[in-house]
A and B are shown apart, each in its own frame.
Chain A
């Protein structure tokens, strides 16, 4: 029995060497949905170059863009704490015309893509994390829904809890400016290493 006691004590003493931190807390949120309501998208025929996806606009398939900030540090303040690591995945995105946009639909949207920006000031630093291609003979619709690329960890793209995202919409039919709710579903795992704070 004495021997068993010593073996158990040795096992306990060896616990810190198992790999992960001995003192930790982990929050898992399988579904974290953030909706940015009434985001203004320019019309397909906008003449403001700042709204264009590229320096030169193709008149037959004009492309407009919006940069959105998903502030995840607000609802999950621990993201901004010291000793925290996290894994953030995009599960799905939906662009839904706001209720005030009666009589409008998104039939003219040929493509849409969502890019996450490594450098918020550099549009070319984007990585596509979700994309939409209008199916053939699609019925008029007030929303676009796409599945996100959940293989990409968006954690490295967070800046002080904010995920900068660029939405690019390509049209093949004239579409007026519209307001849309942009809803993104994420899965989130946050890990706090208590030991590093002691």
Chain B
């Protein structure tokens, strides 16, 4: 018999809720309008955290001027130094799994990478003087997929091609024994390396 008041209370609560919903058409309309608005205009601002090659780790602010286009920019870090990067992402259509095309570029500012020389980083110790001031620029074109919601949370995986231009300022002098058995002193000054290479990126995106 003790359960009777509990059941009655639950029934009253349900009835009251039903009455509120039925009796407040303005609230229902607002909800519908909000849902419709979301379908038409997804959130414009978001955050993107990603890691990849050649950019390292990056955190970006994302702006969506129109539904299919995102602009992003932010700082990046690669264990040696800091840089900035930005780009544009195209999502031609939205599904649970959406295709993504991304074009981005960035610059790492001059940093001291001498700690990579020798046993620690696997770079020959002779090159150490060239690593005192290293910087690089890159541009990447990638395609991939985005899994998740366009309005709240999504993860993405992309792969493509990057162009990298690396400059090392300094002079390295080494003594080598040539194939003829004679000794030669060789000096490199300000070498620059550029080229294209495969690149990948994985990211997590939040909209608000």
Contact = CB atoms under 8 A, between A and B. Distances in A.
A34 B185 contact: yes
Given A2-B92, A5-B90, A22-B161, 9 more contacts: A1-B67, A5-B101, A27-B191, A28-B194, A37-B184, A69-B178, A71-B179, A162-B180, A194-B195
A81 interface: no
10 contacts: A2-B92, A15-B141, A23-B161, A25-B196, A26-B195, A28-B191, A31-B188, A35-B187, A36-B182, A74-B176
Given A1-B92, A71-B178, A32 B196 contact: no
Interface in A54-90: 69-71, 73-75
A45 to B, nearest CB: 26
B191 A25 contact: no
Interface of B: 66-69, 90, 92-93, 101, 141, 161, 174, 176-180, 182-197
Closest 9 CB pairs of A and B: A25-B195, A71-B178, A31-B189, A5-B92, A33-B187, A75-B186, A35-B185, A28-B192, A1-B68
Contacts, number: 106
A30 B178 contact: no
B186 A32 contact: yes
Interface residues of A, number: 35
Contacts of B188: 29, 31-32, 75
Contacts of A35: 184-187
For the residues of A in contact with B, the DSSP-based class is strand
A16 to B, nearest CB: 10
A9 interface: yes
